[in-house]
Protein backbone atom coordinates (compact mmCIF):
# COMPACT_ATOMS: atom_id res chain seq x y z
CA UNK A 1 0.00 0.00 0.00
CA UNK A 2 2.80 2.44 0.92
CA UNK A 3 4.65 1.65 -2.28
CA UNK A 4 1.50 2.31 -4.37
CA UNK A 5 0.96 5.70 -2.74
CA UNK A 6 4.61 6.59 -3.13
CA UNK A 7 4.54 5.72 -6.82
CA UNK A 8 1.39 7.78 -7.32
CA UNK A 9 2.99 10.74 -5.52
CA UNK A 10 6.17 10.56 -7.61
CA UNK A 11 4.17 10.44 -10.84
CA UNK A 12 2.05 13.41 -9.79
CA UNK A 13 5.13 15.39 -8.75
CA UNK A 14 6.83 14.64 -12.02
CA UNK A 15 3.86 15.82 -14.06
CA UNK A 16 3.37 19.02 -12.05
CA UNK A 17 7.12 19.78 -12.19
CA UNK A 18 7.09 19.52 -15.94
CA UNK A 19 4.14 21.87 -16.12
CA UNK A 20 5.86 24.38 -13.88
CA UNK A 21 9.04 24.22 -15.94
CA UNK A 22 7.05 25.06 -19.05
CA UNK A 23 5.42 28.08 -17.37
CA UNK A 24 8.64 29.60 -15.85
CA UNK A 25 10.82 32.07 -17.85
CA UNK A 26 14.15 30.86 -19.19
CA UNK A 27 16.93 31.78 -16.72
CA UNK A 28 19.09 34.75 -17.85
CA UNK A 29 22.86 34.72 -17.93
CA UNK A 30 24.33 36.22 -14.81
CA UNK A 31 25.87 39.32 -16.57
CA UNK A 32 23.13 39.98 -19.10
CA UNK A 33 20.21 42.36 -18.60
CA UNK A 34 16.97 42.28 -20.57
CA UNK A 35 17.31 46.03 -21.28
CA UNK A 36 20.81 47.45 -21.80
CA UNK A 37 22.19 50.96 -21.35
CA UNK A 38 22.43 51.22 -25.12
CA UNK A 39 18.76 50.29 -25.57
CA UNK A 40 17.71 53.00 -23.16
CA UNK A 41 20.07 55.50 -24.66
CA UNK A 42 18.57 54.94 -28.12
CA UNK A 43 15.08 55.62 -26.83
CA UNK A 44 16.24 58.74 -24.94
CA UNK A 45 17.39 60.75 -27.96
CA UNK A 46 14.84 63.49 -27.22
CA UNK A 47 15.64 63.73 -23.50
CA UNK A 48 18.90 65.59 -22.71
CA UNK A 49 18.49 64.95 -18.98
CA UNK A 50 18.78 61.23 -19.65
CA UNK A 51 21.83 61.89 -21.79
CA UNK A 52 23.44 63.76 -18.89
CA UNK A 53 22.67 60.81 -16.60
CA UNK A 54 24.31 58.27 -18.86
CA UNK A 55 27.20 60.65 -19.58
CA UNK A 56 27.82 60.99 -15.85
CA UNK A 57 27.66 57.20 -15.44
CA UNK A 58 30.12 56.63 -18.28
CA UNK A 59 32.48 59.28 -16.90
CA UNK A 60 32.46 57.61 -13.46
CA UNK A 61 33.38 54.34 -15.18
CA UNK A 62 36.15 56.12 -17.15
CA UNK A 63 34.46 55.41 -20.46
CA UNK A 64 35.41 58.87 -21.61
CA UNK A 65 34.51 58.43 -25.28
CA UNK A 66 30.93 57.45 -24.35
CA UNK A 67 30.72 60.16 -21.71
CA UNK A 68 31.77 62.95 -24.06
CA UNK A 69 29.44 61.70 -26.78
CA UNK A 70 26.53 61.85 -24.33
CA UNK A 71 27.40 65.37 -23.18
CA UNK A 72 27.82 66.55 -26.77
CA UNK A 73 24.39 65.11 -27.62
CA UNK A 74 22.88 66.93 -24.66
CA UNK A 75 24.65 70.12 -25.71
CA UNK A 76 22.82 70.01 -29.06
CA UNK A 77 19.64 70.76 -27.12
CA UNK A 78 21.28 73.70 -25.36
CA UNK A 79 21.52 71.79 -22.09
CA UNK A 80 23.84 73.85 -19.86
CA UNK A 81 25.22 70.81 -18.03
CA UNK A 82 25.98 69.14 -21.34
CA UNK A 83 27.81 72.23 -22.61
CA UNK A 84 29.84 72.68 -19.42
CA UNK A 85 30.75 69.01 -19.12
CA UNK A 86 31.69 68.77 -22.79
CA UNK A 87 33.91 71.85 -22.54
CA UNK A 88 35.56 70.43 -19.43
CA UNK A 89 36.29 67.05 -21.00
CA UNK A 90 37.63 68.60 -24.19
CA UNK A 91 39.92 70.89 -22.20
CA UNK A 92 41.25 67.90 -20.22
CA UNK A 93 41.74 65.85 -23.39
CA UNK A 94 39.23 63.18 -22.33
CA UNK A 95 37.36 61.39 -25.11
CA UNK A 96 38.01 64.01 -27.78
CA UNK A 97 40.26 61.85 -29.95
CA UNK A 98 37.43 59.48 -30.93
CA UNK A 99 34.85 62.25 -31.30
CA UNK A 100 36.86 64.64 -33.49
CA UNK A 101 34.28 65.69 -36.04
CA UNK A 102 31.58 66.17 -33.41
CA UNK A 103 33.96 68.13 -31.19
CA UNK A 104 34.96 70.42 -34.05
CA UNK A 105 31.31 71.06 -34.93
CA UNK A 106 30.49 71.73 -31.29
CA UNK A 107 33.39 74.15 -30.78
CA UNK A 108 32.81 75.88 -34.11
CA UNK A 109 29.25 76.65 -33.05
CA UNK A 110 30.36 78.31 -29.82
CA UNK A 111 33.42 79.96 -31.37
CA UNK A 112 31.25 81.67 -34.01
CA UNK A 113 28.02 82.70 -32.27
CA UNK A 114 25.29 84.59 -34.06
CA UNK A 115 24.17 88.05 -33.09
CA UNK A 116 27.60 89.70 -33.03
CA UNK A 117 28.69 88.09 -29.75
CA UNK A 118 32.38 87.59 -29.04
CA UNK A 119 32.33 83.82 -28.95
CA UNK A 120 33.81 81.32 -26.52
CA UNK A 121 37.54 81.98 -26.12
CA UNK A 122 38.39 78.41 -25.13
CA UNK A 123 36.65 77.09 -28.24
CA UNK A 124 38.57 79.57 -30.40
CA UNK A 125 41.97 78.65 -28.93
CA UNK A 126 41.23 74.95 -29.23
CA UNK A 127 40.23 75.29 -32.87
CA UNK A 128 43.36 77.34 -33.49
CA UNK A 129 45.40 74.44 -32.10
CA UNK A 130 43.43 71.90 -34.11
CA UNK A 131 43.78 73.62 -37.48
CA UNK A 132 47.46 74.25 -36.77
CA UNK A 133 47.86 70.49 -36.60
CA UNK A 134 48.52 69.97 -32.91
CA UNK A 135 47.34 66.42 -32.24
CA UNK A 136 48.09 66.70 -28.54
CA UNK A 137 44.99 68.85 -28.10
CA UNK A 138 43.00 65.63 -28.40
CA UNK A 139 44.74 63.81 -25.60
CA UNK A 140 45.69 64.17 -21.98
CA UNK A 141 49.01 66.05 -21.93
CA UNK A 142 50.71 63.46 -19.75
CA UNK A 143 49.91 60.69 -22.20
CA UNK A 144 50.61 62.57 -25.42
CA UNK A 145 53.98 61.42 -26.70
CA UNK A 146 53.17 61.86 -30.38
CA UNK A 147 54.97 64.45 -32.54
CA UNK A 148 53.52 67.89 -32.05
CA UNK A 149 52.55 68.35 -35.64
CA UNK A 150 50.11 66.47 -37.83
CA UNK A 151 50.05 67.23 -41.53
CA UNK A 152 47.06 69.36 -42.48
CA UNK A 153 46.10 71.14 -45.65
CA UNK A 154 47.73 74.51 -46.17
CA UNK A 155 44.43 76.34 -45.91
CA UNK A 156 44.12 74.99 -42.36
CA UNK A 157 46.77 77.50 -41.29
CA UNK A 158 44.43 80.29 -42.34
CA UNK A 159 41.67 78.83 -40.19
CA UNK A 160 44.13 78.48 -37.33
CA UNK A 161 45.06 82.15 -37.54
CA UNK A 162 41.37 83.11 -37.83
CA UNK A 163 40.50 81.48 -34.52
CA UNK A 164 43.67 82.52 -32.71
CA UNK A 165 43.03 86.13 -33.67
CA UNK A 166 39.46 85.93 -32.37
CA UNK A 167 40.70 84.61 -29.03
CA UNK A 168 43.52 87.18 -28.96
CA UNK A 169 41.02 90.00 -29.23
CA UNK A 170 39.14 88.24 -26.44
CA UNK A 171 42.14 88.74 -24.18
CA UNK A 172 43.67 85.25 -24.19
CA UNK A 173 47.45 85.46 -23.74
CA UNK A 174 48.20 82.14 -25.44
CA UNK A 175 46.19 83.25 -28.45
CA UNK A 176 48.01 86.59 -28.50
CA UNK A 177 51.29 84.69 -28.57
CA UNK A 178 50.19 82.37 -31.38
CA UNK A 179 48.75 85.26 -33.40
CA UNK A 180 51.97 87.20 -32.96
CA UNK A 181 54.20 84.27 -33.95
CA UNK A 182 52.11 83.42 -37.00
CA UNK A 183 52.25 87.07 -38.08
CA UNK A 184 56.01 87.06 -37.53
CA UNK A 185 56.62 83.85 -39.46
CA UNK A 186 54.02 84.41 -42.18
CA UNK A 187 51.98 81.30 -41.34
CA UNK A 188 48.34 81.51 -42.40
CA UNK A 189 48.76 85.20 -43.24
CA UNK A 190 51.38 87.31 -45.05
CA UNK A 191 54.30 88.17 -42.77
CA UNK A 192 53.57 91.33 -40.80
CA UNK A 193 56.34 92.07 -38.29
CA UNK A 194 54.91 95.34 -36.87
CA UNK A 195 51.65 93.51 -36.15
CA UNK A 196 53.58 90.65 -34.57
CA UNK A 197 55.47 93.07 -32.35
CA UNK A 198 52.17 94.68 -31.29
CA UNK A 199 50.76 91.30 -30.23
CA UNK A 200 53.92 90.17 -28.45
CA UNK A 201 54.88 93.41 -26.68
CA UNK A 202 52.22 93.30 -23.90
CA UNK A 203 53.23 89.73 -23.06
CA UNK A 204 56.89 90.72 -22.75
CA UNK A 205 56.05 93.79 -20.69
CA UNK A 206 54.04 91.60 -18.32
CA UNK A 207 57.11 89.53 -17.52
CA UNK A 208 57.18 86.76 -20.13
CA UNK A 209 60.93 86.26 -20.55
CA UNK A 210 60.74 84.01 -23.60
CA UNK A 211 58.61 86.49 -25.53
CA UNK A 212 60.93 89.34 -24.50
CA UNK A 213 63.84 87.29 -25.85
CA UNK A 214 62.04 86.78 -29.18
CA UNK A 215 61.53 90.54 -29.52
CA UNK A 216 65.17 91.17 -28.63
CA UNK A 217 66.26 88.59 -31.19
CA UNK A 218 64.22 90.29 -33.91
CA UNK A 219 65.81 93.70 -33.34
CA UNK A 220 69.30 92.35 -32.56
CA UNK A 221 69.64 90.78 -36.00
CA UNK A 222 67.22 92.97 -37.93
CA UNK A 223 65.02 90.04 -38.97
CA UNK A 224 62.49 91.58 -41.35
CA UNK A 225 62.88 94.95 -39.59
CA UNK A 226 65.54 97.63 -39.30
CA UNK A 227 68.27 96.47 -36.93
CA UNK A 228 67.99 98.30 -33.60
CA UNK A 229 70.43 97.14 -30.90
CA UNK A 230 69.08 99.66 -28.37
CA UNK A 231 65.58 98.15 -28.60
CA UNK A 232 67.12 94.69 -28.56
CA UNK A 233 68.96 95.46 -25.32
CA UNK A 234 65.71 96.67 -23.74
CA UNK A 235 64.03 93.33 -24.40
CA UNK A 236 67.10 91.26 -23.55
CA UNK A 237 67.31 93.05 -20.20
CA UNK A 238 63.70 92.14 -19.38
CA UNK A 239 64.30 88.57 -20.53
CA UNK A 240 67.56 88.17 -18.58
CA UNK A 241 65.76 89.29 -15.41
CA UNK A 242 63.58 86.18 -15.72
CA UNK A 243 66.63 83.89 -15.97
CA UNK A 244 66.91 83.58 -19.75
CA UNK A 245 70.52 82.51 -20.38
CA UNK A 246 70.58 83.44 -24.08
CA UNK A 247 69.33 86.96 -23.36
CA UNK A 248 72.03 87.43 -20.72
CA UNK A 249 74.67 86.35 -23.23
CA UNK A 250 73.42 88.77 -25.85
CA UNK A 251 73.70 91.58 -23.30
CA UNK A 252 77.25 90.52 -22.50
CA UNK A 253 78.25 90.40 -26.18
CA UNK A 254 76.64 93.78 -26.81
CA UNK A 255 78.61 95.17 -23.88
CA UNK A 256 81.83 93.89 -25.46
CA UNK A 257 80.77 95.68 -28.63
CA UNK A 258 80.36 98.92 -26.67
CA UNK A 259 76.56 99.06 -26.96
CA UNK A 260 75.62 98.76 -23.29
CA UNK A 261 77.15 98.47 -19.86
CA UNK A 262 78.80 101.82 -19.17
CA UNK A 263 80.97 104.58 -20.54
CA UNK A 264 84.41 102.97 -20.09
CA UNK A 265 85.92 99.74 -21.37
CA UNK A 266 86.42 98.56 -17.79
CA UNK A 267 82.73 99.10 -16.95
CA UNK A 268 81.57 97.31 -20.04
CA UNK A 269 83.99 94.44 -19.39
CA UNK A 270 82.65 93.99 -15.86
CA UNK A 271 79.10 94.16 -17.21
CA UNK A 272 79.92 91.48 -19.79
CA UNK A 273 81.58 89.25 -17.18
CA UNK A 274 78.58 89.55 -14.85
CA UNK A 275 76.12 88.60 -17.58
CA UNK A 276 78.19 85.68 -18.84
CA UNK A 277 78.22 84.43 -15.26
CA UNK A 278 74.46 84.97 -15.07
CA UNK A 279 74.04 82.86 -18.23
CA UNK A 280 76.38 80.21 -16.82
CA UNK A 281 74.34 79.81 -13.64
CA UNK A 282 70.85 80.17 -15.16
CA UNK A 283 68.61 77.29 -14.09
CA UNK A 284 67.33 76.68 -17.62
CA UNK A 285 70.68 77.05 -19.39
CA UNK A 286 71.33 74.20 -21.83
CA UNK A 287 74.67 72.56 -22.67
CA UNK A 288 75.39 74.89 -25.61
CA UNK A 289 74.70 77.99 -23.52
CA UNK A 290 76.83 76.78 -20.61
CA UNK A 291 79.66 75.91 -22.97
CA UNK A 292 79.49 79.28 -24.76
CA UNK A 293 79.37 81.23 -21.49
CA UNK A 294 82.49 79.42 -20.25
CA UNK A 295 84.23 79.95 -23.59
CA UNK A 296 83.52 83.68 -23.66
CA UNK A 297 84.57 84.10 -20.03
CA UNK A 298 87.82 82.39 -21.00
CA UNK A 299 88.32 84.92 -23.79
CA UNK A 300 87.60 87.80 -21.39
CA UNK A 301 90.22 86.65 -18.91
CA UNK A 302 92.66 86.08 -21.75
CA UNK A 303 92.27 89.36 -23.64
CA UNK A 304 91.06 92.19 -21.42
CA UNK A 305 93.76 93.99 -19.43
CA UNK A 306 91.47 94.59 -16.45
CA UNK A 307 90.82 90.86 -16.07
CA UNK A 308 94.02 89.35 -17.49
CA UNK A 309 94.52 85.96 -15.84
CA UNK A 310 95.80 83.05 -17.94
CA UNK A 311 95.00 80.53 -15.22
CA UNK A 312 91.35 81.63 -15.05
CA UNK A 313 91.16 81.71 -18.84
CA UNK A 314 92.35 78.10 -19.11
CA UNK A 315 89.97 77.03 -16.34
CA UNK A 316 86.93 78.43 -18.17
CA UNK A 317 88.12 76.95 -21.48
CA UNK A 318 88.49 73.50 -19.91
CA UNK A 319 84.97 73.80 -18.50
CA UNK A 320 83.69 74.81 -21.94
CA UNK A 321 85.38 71.75 -23.47
CA UNK A 322 83.45 69.42 -21.13
CA UNK A 323 80.34 69.92 -23.25
CA UNK A 324 79.97 68.26 -26.62
CA UNK A 325 79.15 71.50 -28.46
CA UNK A 326 80.53 73.87 -31.08
CA UNK A 327 81.98 76.07 -28.32
CA UNK A 328 83.49 72.97 -26.76
CA UNK A 329 85.37 72.46 -30.05
CA UNK A 330 86.47 76.09 -30.09
CA UNK A 331 87.70 75.83 -26.50
CA UNK A 332 89.80 72.75 -27.36
CA UNK A 333 91.29 74.59 -30.32
CA UNK A 334 92.12 77.56 -28.08
CA UNK A 335 93.78 75.25 -25.56
CA UNK A 336 95.79 73.62 -28.34
CA UNK A 337 97.00 77.05 -29.45
CA UNK A 338 98.09 77.77 -25.86
CA UNK A 339 100.39 74.76 -25.91
CA UNK A 340 102.08 75.53 -29.22
CA UNK A 341 105.46 75.10 -27.52
CA UNK A 342 104.46 71.66 -26.21
CA UNK A 343 103.50 69.79 -29.34
CA UNK A 344 102.32 66.61 -27.58
CA UNK A 345 99.78 68.59 -25.54
CA UNK A 346 98.77 70.71 -28.52
CA UNK A 347 98.17 67.64 -30.72
CA UNK A 348 96.10 66.03 -27.95
CA UNK A 349 93.82 69.07 -27.77
CA UNK A 350 93.53 69.33 -31.57
CA UNK A 351 92.70 65.61 -31.86
CA UNK A 352 90.06 65.98 -29.13
CA UNK A 353 88.63 68.96 -31.03
CA UNK A 354 88.34 67.00 -34.32
CA UNK A 355 86.80 63.99 -32.55
CA UNK A 356 84.17 66.20 -30.89
CA UNK A 357 83.61 68.03 -34.17
CA UNK A 358 82.75 64.81 -36.00
CA UNK A 359 79.76 64.32 -33.67
CA UNK A 360 78.26 67.69 -34.61
CA UNK A 361 76.03 68.56 -37.60
CA UNK A 362 77.67 68.92 -40.99
CA UNK A 363 77.35 72.71 -41.16
CA UNK A 364 79.14 72.99 -37.79
CA UNK A 365 81.90 70.71 -39.08
CA UNK A 366 82.40 73.03 -42.00
CA UNK A 367 82.32 76.16 -39.86
CA UNK A 368 84.99 74.78 -37.51
CA UNK A 369 87.02 72.82 -40.08
CA UNK A 370 90.13 74.74 -39.01
CA UNK A 371 90.49 72.11 -36.27
CA UNK A 372 91.67 69.60 -38.90
CA UNK A 373 93.93 72.25 -40.41
CA UNK A 374 95.58 72.90 -37.04
CA UNK A 375 96.05 69.19 -36.46
CA UNK A 376 97.56 68.76 -39.92
CA UNK A 377 99.98 71.63 -39.37
CA UNK A 378 101.15 70.04 -36.13
CA UNK A 379 102.61 67.22 -38.22
CA UNK A 380 104.17 69.57 -40.77
CA UNK A 381 106.60 71.15 -38.31
CA UNK A 382 109.76 69.80 -36.79
CA UNK A 383 109.49 69.46 -33.03
CA UNK A 384 110.94 67.70 -30.02
CA UNK A 385 107.74 65.91 -28.99
CA UNK A 386 105.93 65.20 -32.26
CA UNK A 387 107.75 63.89 -35.32
CA UNK A 388 107.14 65.41 -38.69
CA UNK A 389 104.73 63.11 -40.57
CA UNK A 390 103.80 64.00 -44.15
CA UNK A 391 101.28 61.14 -44.31
CA UNK A 392 99.30 62.42 -41.32
CA UNK A 393 99.64 65.98 -42.55
CA UNK A 394 98.11 64.99 -45.90
CA UNK A 395 95.29 62.99 -44.23
CA UNK A 396 94.12 65.81 -41.99
CA UNK A 397 94.62 68.55 -44.57
CA UNK A 398 92.59 66.52 -47.06
CA UNK A 399 89.83 66.23 -44.43
CA UNK A 400 89.90 70.02 -44.07
CA UNK A 401 89.76 70.63 -47.85
CA UNK A 402 86.94 68.13 -48.42
CA UNK A 403 84.90 69.61 -45.59
CA UNK A 404 85.34 73.17 -46.85
CA UNK A 405 84.10 72.22 -50.32
CA UNK A 406 81.30 69.91 -49.20
CA UNK A 407 78.47 72.16 -48.09
CA UNK A 408 77.31 75.71 -47.96
CA UNK A 409 76.83 77.09 -44.47
CA UNK A 410 73.20 77.90 -43.73
CA UNK A 411 72.08 81.47 -43.41
CA UNK A 412 71.13 82.66 -39.95
CA UNK A 413 67.70 84.00 -40.83
CA UNK A 414 65.89 80.82 -41.89
CA UNK A 415 67.06 78.92 -38.81
CA UNK A 416 66.74 81.66 -36.20
CA UNK A 417 63.14 80.85 -35.38
CA UNK A 418 63.16 77.20 -36.42
CA UNK A 419 61.87 75.95 -33.07
CA UNK A 420 58.84 78.24 -33.33
CA UNK A 421 57.63 76.85 -36.65
CA UNK A 422 56.62 73.48 -35.27
CA UNK A 423 54.52 74.43 -32.27
CA UNK A 424 53.42 77.48 -30.38
CA UNK A 425 53.42 76.16 -26.85
CA UNK A 426 52.83 79.30 -24.87
CA UNK A 427 55.95 80.02 -22.80
CA UNK A 428 54.16 81.23 -19.73
- Higher-pLDDT residue of 396 and 35 is 396
Q: Tell me, what's the pLDDT at 24?
A: 44
Q: Tell me, what's the pLDDT at 284?
A: 81
Is a pLDDT exceeding 80 seen at residue 273? yes
CA distance 352 to 181: 41
Is a pLDDT exceeding 70 seen at residue 169? yes
Is a pLDDT exceeding 50 seen at residue 159? yes
| Least confident interval from 132-146, 291-305, 401-415 | 132-146
Is 135 buried (19+), middle (13-18) or exposed (0-12) by CB count in 10 A?
A: middle
CA distance 70 to 51: 5
Is a pLDDT exceeding 60 seen at residue 17? no
Q: What is the pTM of this model?
A: 0.76
The rounded Cα 364 to chain-centroid distance in angstroms is 23
Q: What are the backbone dihedrals phi and psi of residue 392, each rounded to the nearest 5 degrees, phi first? A: -70, -35
3-state SS, residue 134: strand
Tens digit of each residue's pLDDT (9 = 90 or more) over 55-104: 999 999 999 999 999 999 999 888 999 999 999 998 888 888 777 888 88
CA distance 297 to 311: 12
- Alpha carbons within 13 angstroms on the beta-carbon side of residue 341 total 1
Q: Tell me, what's the pLDDT at 384?
A: 58
3-state SS, residue 178: helix
Q: Tell me, what's the pLDDT at 8?
A: 38
Rounded (5°) CA angle 422-179-249: 65
Q: Tell me, what's the pLDDT at 351?
A: 94
CA distance 88 to 44: 23
- Percent of the chain at pLDDT exceeding 70: 77
Q: If pLDDT is split at 50, 70 and 90, which confidence band does 147 have?
A: very low
pLDDT, averaged across the chain: 82
CA distance 140 to 144: 6
Q: Tell me, what's the pLDDT at 129?
A: 85
Residues 14, 18, 24, 29, Cα dihedral to 10°: 90
CA distance 375 to 232: 39
3-state SS, residue 4: helix
- Higher-pLDDT residue of 115 and 369 is 369
**Beta-carbon contacts of residue 321 (< 8 Å; ≥ 6 apart):** 328, 331, 332, 335, 352, 356
Q: Tell me, what's the pLDDT at 166?
A: 94
- Higher-pLDDT residue of 249 and 21 is 249
The residues that bridge with 149 in the sheet, in sequence order, are: 134
- Cβ atoms of 115 and 390 closer than 8 Å: no
Q: Tell me, what's the pLDDT at 259?
A: 94
For residues 121-129, average pLDDT: 90
- Cβ atoms of 51 and 71 closer than 8 Å: yes
For residues 255-262, average pLDDT: 94
- Cβ atoms of 246 and 220 closer than 8 Å: no
End-to-end CA distance of the chain: 100
- Cβ atoms of 189 and 183 closer than 8 Å: yes
Q: Tell me, what's the pLDDT at 90?
A: 87
CA distance 426 to 268: 34
Q: If pLDDT is split at 50, 70 and 90, which confidence band does 312 have?
A: very high
How many Å is the Cα radius of gyration of the chain?
35
- Percent of the chain at pLDDT exceeding 90: 50
Q: Which residues of 38-63 are buried (b: 16+ CB within 10 A; e: fewer)?
A: eeebeebeeebebbbbbbeebbeeee
3-state SS, residue 149: strand
For residues 294-300, average pLDDT: 95
CA distance 132 to 423: 8
**Taking phi first (over 0 means left), then psi (-120 to 50 degrees means alpha), and beta for anything else, what does residue 172 get?**
beta
**Which domains are present in the chain?**
118-206 (no CATH), 209-323 (1.25.40.10), 336-423 (no CATH)
Tens digit of each residue's pLDDT (9 = 90 or more) over 203-243: 999 999 999 999 999 999 888 888 999 999 999 999 999 99
- Higher-pLDDT residue of 137 and 400 is 400
For residues 178-204, average pLDDT: 92
Tens digit of each residue's pLDDT (9 = 90 or more) over 7-16: 333 334 343 4
Q: Tell me, what's the pLDDT at 382?
A: 58
The residues that bridge with 134 in the sheet, in sequence order, are: 149
DSSP class of residue 28 equals P
Q: Tell me, what's the pLDDT at 150?
A: 46
- Higher-pLDDT residue of 5 and 422 is 422
For residues 164-170, average pLDDT: 94
CA distance 332 to 336: 6
Is 23 buried (19+), middle (13-18) or exposed (0-12) by CB count in 10 A?
A: exposed
**Beta-carbon contacts of residue 45 (< 8 Å; ≥ 6 apart):** 73
Q: Tell me, what's the pLDDT at 66?
A: 93
- Higher-pLDDT residue of 5 and 283 is 283
Is a pLDDT exceeding 70 seen at residue 31? no
Amino acid sequence: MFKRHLLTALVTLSISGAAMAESMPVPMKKDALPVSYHDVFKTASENPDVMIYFGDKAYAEKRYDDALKAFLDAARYGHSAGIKNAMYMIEKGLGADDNRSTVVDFLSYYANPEGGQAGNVFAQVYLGDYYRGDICVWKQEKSCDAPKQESLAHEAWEKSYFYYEKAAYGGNDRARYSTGMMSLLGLGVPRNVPLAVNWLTPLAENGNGEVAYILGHIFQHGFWVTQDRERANKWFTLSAQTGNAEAAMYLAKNAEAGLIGGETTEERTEFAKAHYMKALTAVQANAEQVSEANYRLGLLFDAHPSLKDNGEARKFMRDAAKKNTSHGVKALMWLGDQYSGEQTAAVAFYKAATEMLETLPLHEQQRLAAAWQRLANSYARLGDDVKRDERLYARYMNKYNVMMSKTVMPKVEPTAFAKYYDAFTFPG
